[in-house]
Every structure is written in structure tokens, then in C-alpha cells.
Structure 1
Amino acid sequence: MSVKVEVGAGGIPHNRILIYGLVGSLILIYLTYLNTITGTQYFSFFGGLAAVAALLWGTDTIKHLCSYGLGTGVPSAGMIALGSGVIAALVGATTGIFAPIVTIIVAAIIGGVAGIMANHIVRMDIPVMIASLTELAIVGAMTVLGLAAMTAGTFQFLGLISGTIVILGFVVETYEASVIGGSIIAVIFMLGAIAIQHSFNACLGPGEKQDRTLMLAAECGFLSMIPIAIISFAFIAFLPALISLLVSVIGWFYTYMRYIELAKRDAYAWLDAQPILEPEGGA
């Protein structure tokens, strides 16, 4: 039986963050469909913002899951989230305009099954395991789909598996020059997995504060957007890729500076802190 360890009391309720993260990431991913409607690629950066919204939700989910004494389980949760997410995102991408919605449904099924296995087969017996792994699978899927859309300018499967190269002046379609064929999806997997687990892993402890943890999550999200924006120069036009890069850098700089401010605030608050008492009563 796992024992819950209380962390960072107060702040925004988790269910509210869940709603914000789910609805926000869904809307932002659908905004990338404006590329298809307008015949441009200027809206690709919304995919990255969708990933940031999902990562904020995922960070708070990891906080709740790992408050049951799963200190070393924080990185594992990130890998499970993105592993489940890649499968769900690729399946969902084959359904055209319904891709984001189908991705959520498939991810929820995968996460739910993983949670049931963890609790009833591995016998981890954590009360929030099934719900948390379901949430994390959706977070991972939306992160993958969002960053993939940011790279290719679309979340539809055909756009993720097709690319072009020039041979002797002729434009030739090729699978290898695509987001999936070029293994960019693997880069997205690692960037998302690191981003989703790092924030709480870095901030956990008796002085953990929700606003600082979530600000670091946003910073990690924008930081992950930067290499994706750079990679997108190979797949979309120069100006849309440049816009994505500018949004990523500006977002990262702002959230990084805010995180430093919050870190200084919490560090200063500990100057007059009392010793932490051990369960046995010792200091």
C-alpha cells in the first residue's frame, strides 16, 4: 500500500488545470488547421503552444501521482506519457480533421489500460494511478501532435509522412524527408518526455510551490519549442518557421525570467524557516 506524501498545498485545483490543459491544447492544435484553410503555414506555432498547455497539465498530474512516494517514478511517468502519446498521436493523425479528438480518445484508452495493469497486475495500488496515467497519456499525445504540427505545418498523417527533395532540378516526393520518415518524431518524443518530467523533479520538496513548478513547466515547454522551430525550417517556408522561432524564444525568455523571480522568492522565504522534523521527532 502506498502512502501519500503531501506536497505544495493550495494553488489552482488539479481538475481546473486539467480542463484548461485539455481544452486549451485541443483548441490550439485546431488553430494549426488554419494553415490548410488559408493555404499558408503561418499558424504552425500554435502547435507548439498546444504542447505547452498540455505540459502544464501534465506537470500537475505528475505532481499528484508522485506525491505517493514515487520519487524515482517522475522520469518514468514522463516516458510512459510520451510513449503512449506517440502511438495515440500517430493513430489519430490518420483520421484527418478529427485527428486531435481521436488522439485524445485513443490516448485515454492506452493510459487507462496502463493504469489498470500498474495497479492490478504490478500491484502498485496507488489510488490515482489509473486516472493519472490516463491523463498523462493524453498529455503526451497532445504534446507529440502539437510539436509535430509545428514542425510540418499540419497534424494530418499525409503531411507527416511526405516531404520533397530536389534532384537535378526536379522536385521529388520522398518519405525520408518527412517528420516521421526523418525520425523527427523521435526528437519530439525526447523533448516532450524531458519537459513533462523535469519541472516537478526539479521543484519537489517541502518548499515546492505550484506557481513556481508550473512556470518551470511552461519554460520547459517553450524551450522544447526552440529546437522544433529550428527543425521546422527544413519542412515549412522560411517566414512561418521564423515566426515559430520568435514565439518560442520570446516565450522561453519570459517564462525563464519569471521562474528565476519565483525561485528567488521561495529561496528567500526559507531564510527564516524552521528545521524539518523527521517522523521520529528528530531534527
Structure 2
Amino acid sequence: MSVKVEASHDGIPHNKVMAMGLILALVSLYIAVAGAYAGYDYLAFFGGIAAVGALIWGNSTIKKLCSYGIGTGVPSAGMLAFGSGVLAMLFAAKLAVINVFLVPIAGLIIALIVGLVLGWISNSVLNMKIPVMTRSIAELAAVGCVALMGLTVVATGHVAFSEITAFNLDIFGITVSFYDVSYIGAGLIAVSFMLGAIALQHPFNACLGPGEKQDRTNMLAIECGFLSMIVMAVISFAFVSLVAAWISLVIALIGWFVSYKKYFALSKRDAAAWLDAKPFSDAEE
């Protein structure tokens, strides 16, 4: 038996947040992929926007899942989401040999399937019996996959498996590929994994409590998304053109500064509402 403890009583319904986040993520991801396909890597920054959109969706999903009294499971939910997501992303990336535009939607579908299986195991095998568990784990897997794709595009400008497993260098007119210093070979995907997982689980974990407000928690998710994008933009200097890397870094810095300033203002707004709280009375001897 599970006991539901509401996280937020007001604000935008979860399904609407999910739709907005998913649309923003997929549209941005396809713009970035189309840019890479046409040879315009300066559109890689749209991958960061896609990651932010996915994190907004994921933040709402974590709130819905953890309202059933499993607040201590917030960090593990972030890790599970990106653990499932990285599997889906790598499988989908292989489909680029057929058509690179298949990758984002295929990754989303594969992640949902993986998440449904994991959700079923959690509820039916581990016997957690949480009403929204299966759907939430499926959503989180999809969020992890899309966010990872977005961060990968920021860093490399591509989502194709052949591009993220090879670092191409032109030597006297001959293109030579190196695996060891590629996005996958150098282990940079682990960096995006941790950046995304922390950005997913931190907002609700930080804002959890009786004063939790949807707009403040979502703003922290946006801020964390842009903060992760800054790191991936710095990494991108090794993989994309100098112009593309600078565009991604500048947009990430602006996005982070604006969202951080807004989050700080919302935090002060909510903190001020508690100034008239009574102090704890002295304990009786």
C-alpha cells in the first residue's frame, strides 16, 4: 500500500507540461539534426534547448512519481532515467545509417519501451505497487534519452553512431578517424550522463517541502539544464567549428544567467512568505 503526498496543488497539469517539454525538445533536436545534415554545425546549440525542454518534462514527472512518499528516490530516479536513456540513444544512433532523421523519434520510442519494462518490473516484481510507477519510469527513460541526445549534439554536432564514435582529422588531405579521442571513446558520454542525471533530479530535490512552487521548481530545472549545456559547449570546442562552439557557449551562459536570476527572484518571493512564522517554543524540562 502506498500513501500519496501531494507535491504541488496548483499550476499547470502534468500532461500539459509533458506535451510542452516534449514538443520543445523534439522540434529543437530536429533543427539541430537538420543543421548537421546540411553541414551547418552552428545550429548545434539547439541540442541544449532540446535538453532543457526534456528536463522540464522530467522535472514534472519526478514530482508526480515522488508525491507517493518516495522522496528519497529522487536521485535514483535521475540515474535510472539516464541509464535507460543511454541504451535507447545508442540503439537509435545506429539507425542513422538508414536515415539520420529517424534517430530522435526512434530513441524516444525505444526509451519508452525500455521504461515500460522497467516500470513493470518495479511494480510487479519488486512489488512497489505505486499507481504511476510504470508510466513515470517510461517517461523518465524517454526524458533521459532525449536530453542525452541534446547534450550530445551540443558537444559533437551529431547524433549518428558513426560520428560520436570517431574523431575525424584531416591529414594532408586524407581523413583519418580515431576512436580513442571520440565522444564515446574518450568517455565524454559519461560526462553528459552525469550532467543530465543531476540536472534532472536536483530541482525537485532542492525545492521539495511545504513551500514548493511549480514555477520555482521548473525555473531551477531550466537553470540546471543551461548549466549542463555550458559544460558541453566547452567540450564542443574539440569537435565542432569554432563559430559553432562559441555560439553554444554564449547562448548557454545567457540562458543560465537569466534563469538563475529568475530562480533567485522566485526563491526570495517564496521565502518572504515565511517571515511571520513563529519560532520554536522552548522545550519543557
The count of corresponding residues between Structure 1 and Structure 2 is 276
Matched, 1:101 2:105: yes
Provide the secondary structure at the position in 1 that maps to 2:41: coil
What amino acid sits opposite 1:110 in the alignment?
V
Partners of 1:3 and 1:103 lie apart in 2 by 34
Contact 1:65 1:128 in 2 (8 A): yes
Contact 1:199 1:217 in 2 (8 A): yes
When residues 275 and 92 of structure 1 are mapped into structure 2, their CA distance, relative to the original with a 3 A threshold, is farther
Say what the alpha-carbon RMSD is for the aligned residues. 1.7
What amino acid sits opposite 1:10 in the alignment?
D
Measured against aligned partners, the alpha-carbon deviations of 1:200-234 in whole angstroms (never above 9, x if no partner) come to 00000000000000000000000000010000000
Which residues of 2 match residues 8-87 of structure 1 at below 5 A?
8-87=8-87
Contact 1:50 1:143 in 2 (8 A): yes
What amino acid sits opposite 2:8 in the alignment?
G
Measured against aligned partners, the alpha-carbon deviations of 1:21-76 in whole angstroms (never above 9, x if no partner) come to 11211111101123234322110000111000000110110011001111210000
When residues 37 and 87 of structure 1 are mapped into structure 2, their CA distance, relative to the original with a 3 A threshold, is closer
Partners of 1:50 and 1:15 lie apart in 2 by 18
Deviation at 1:178, TM superposition (A): 1.4
Deviation at 1:169, TM superposition (A): 9.7
Equivalent in 122, 126, 130 of residue 126 of structure 2: 122
Partners of 2:124 and 2:277 lie apart in 1 by 41
Aligned match of 2:239: 235
Provide the secondary structure at the position in 1 that maps to 2:42: coil
Partners of 1:274 and 1:91 lie apart in 2 by 56
Gap regions ≥5 residues in structure 1: 277-283
What amino acid sits opposite 2:237 in the alignment?
F
Contact 1:165 1:177 in 2 (8 A): no
Aligned match of 2:262: 258
Matched, 1:196 2:200: yes
Provide the secondary structure at the position in 2 that maps to 1:125: coil
Contact 1:164 1:177 in 2 (8 A): no
Deviation at 1:274, TM superposition (A): 7.2
What amino acid sits opposite 1:32 in the alignment?
A
Provide the secondary structure at the position in 1 that maps to 2:238: coil
Deviation at 1:271, TM superposition (A): 1.7
- In percent, how many aligned pairs have the same letter? 54
Provide the secondary structure at the position in 2 that maps to 1:172: strand
What amino acid sits opposite 1:245 in the alignment?
L
